[in-house]
Chain A
Amino acid sequence: MDKVIIAQNLSLAYSKDETIINKANFSIDSGSFVFVTGASGSGKSTLLKSLYGALKPIEGSLVVGGVELCGISSKKLNFLRRHLGIVFQDYKLVKEWTIEKNIMLPLIINGYEKSITQSQVDSLLKHVKLQHQAGKYPLELSGGEQQRVAMARALAHNPILILADEPTGNLDDYSSQLIWNLLEGAHEQLKTTVIVVTHHIPETIKIDYKHYHIEFGDIHEVV
Chain B
Amino acid sequence: MKSFKNHISLVIALVSILFSLQVFTIVERSIDAYKENLAQNYSLVVVSQKTLQKKELLDKITTLASIEQLSPDNVIKKLNTGISKKNKELLKVTLPKFYKLQLKIYPTPLQLQRLQKELLRYPYIVKVETFSNTHDTTYKLLLLFKNVIFILSLSIVLVTILLIFKELRIWQFKHNERMSIMGLFGAPAWLRSAVLFRLAIVDALIAFGISFVIFSYFSSSAWVSEQFANIGISVIVFDKVYDSLIMLGVSMTVSVLLASFIVLGHKEEV
Contacts and interface: CB of A to CB of B under 8 A. Distances in A.
Interface of A: 14, 49, 52, 54-55, 74-75, 77-84, 86, 92-97, 105-106, 108-110, 153
A79 B177 contact: no
Contact of B184 (A55, A86, A95): A86
A96 B177 CA distance: 10
Contacts of A82: 185-186
A14 B181 CA distance: 20
B187 A109 contact: yes
B162 interface: no
Contacts of B191: 108-109
Interface in B162-192: 177-178, 180-189, 191
B184 A81 contact: yes
A94 B177 contact: yes
Interface of B: 2, 177-178, 180-189, 191, 268-270
A54 B182 contact: no
A52 B191 CA distance: 19
A49 B185 contact: no
Contacts of A96: 2, 178
Given A78-B188, A94-B177, A105 B182 contact: yes
Given A78-B183, A80-B186, A105-B182, 12 more contacts: A14-B270, A54-B268, A54-B270, A77-B186, A81-B183, A81-B185, A82-B185, A96-B2, A108-B191, A109-B191, A110-B186, A153-B185
Contacts of A78: 183, 186-188
Contacts of A80: 186
20 contacts: A49-B270, A54-B268, A54-B270, A78-B187, A79-B186, A81-B184, A82-B185, A84-B186, A86-B185, A92-B181, A94-B177, A94-B178, A94-B182, A96-B2, A96-B178, A105-B187, A106-B185, A109-B182, A110-B186, A153-B185
A54 B186 contact: no
A79 B2 CA distance: 34
B143 to A, nearest CB: 51
Closest 10 CB pairs of A and B: A81-B186, A82-B186, A78-B186, A109-B187, A94-B178, A106-B185, A92-B181, A54-B270, A109-B185, A94-B181
A199 to B, nearest CB: 22
Nearest to B191: A109
A54 B184 contact: yes
B103 to A, nearest CB: 63
A109 B184 CA distance: 11
A25 B268 CA distance: 27
B5 to A, nearest CB: 11
Nearest to A85: B185
Contacts of B186: 77-84, 106, 109-110
Contacts of B181: 92-94, 105
B270 A105 contact: no
Contacts of B184: 52, 54, 81, 86, 92
Contacts of A77: 186
A94 B176 CA distance: 11
A82 B185 CA distance: 6
A49 B268 CA distance: 12
A83 B268 CA distance: 19
Which of B177, B181, B182 has the largest count of A CB atoms less than 10 A from its CB? Answer: B181
